[in-house]
Amino acid sequence: MDTALFFWNNIISTCGVPKIIISDRDPKFTSEFWTNLYDMLGTRLAFSTAYHPQTDGLAERMIQTMEEILIRFCAYGMEYKYHEGYTHDWVTLLPEVQLAYNTSQHSTTGKTPALVEKGWNPLLPVDHLKKNLLTIHPTAKCFHEM
């Protein structure tokens, strides 16, 4: 049921119902519950070929990239917890890493994943800071234009 709840909260509620899901043959996605849910939603389930790593290549590459980012964040303790100070807990860093990944331009598409998926880039806190800095100091605009 955890997988179903995750699917609802993170996929359907934000992206809508997918037309097709490509999955390995994990029982989490092949159980009677899931096959009935796919039928009700009109979603087709396609299985990746066993021992065919190219099928999972994009997902594996993205996971590798996320691991590399998390290693760097955890090594420097970039997450600050209010009562505990800095932490090396990668789970608490995941939302920030996901935001950084989704708003970074990728060499293969020349676009951010957010732009590719949603059609727009989310505003980041730094965007507001840049805007405010330009109005705070008169010479900031000159430096920005350089």
pTM equals 0.57
| Domain residue spans of the chain | 2-47, 57-102
Give the integer Cα–Cα distance in Å for 82 and 86. 9
Closest by CA to 22, choosing from 49, 2, 41, 1, is 49
Q: Secondary structure of the chain: what % helix, strand, coil (to 5)?
A: 60, 10, 30
pLDDT for res 28: 76
Return phi, psi of residue 23, to 5°. -140, 160
Reading the chain (146 residues) residue by residue, the pLDDT tens digits are 677 778 778 888 877 888 888 887 778 778 887 788 888 888 888 887 777 666 667 777 878 888 888 888 777 655 556 666 656 677 777 888 888 889 999 888 999 988 998 888 888 878 777 776 666 666 666 666 66
The strand pairing partners of 79, in sequence order, are 87
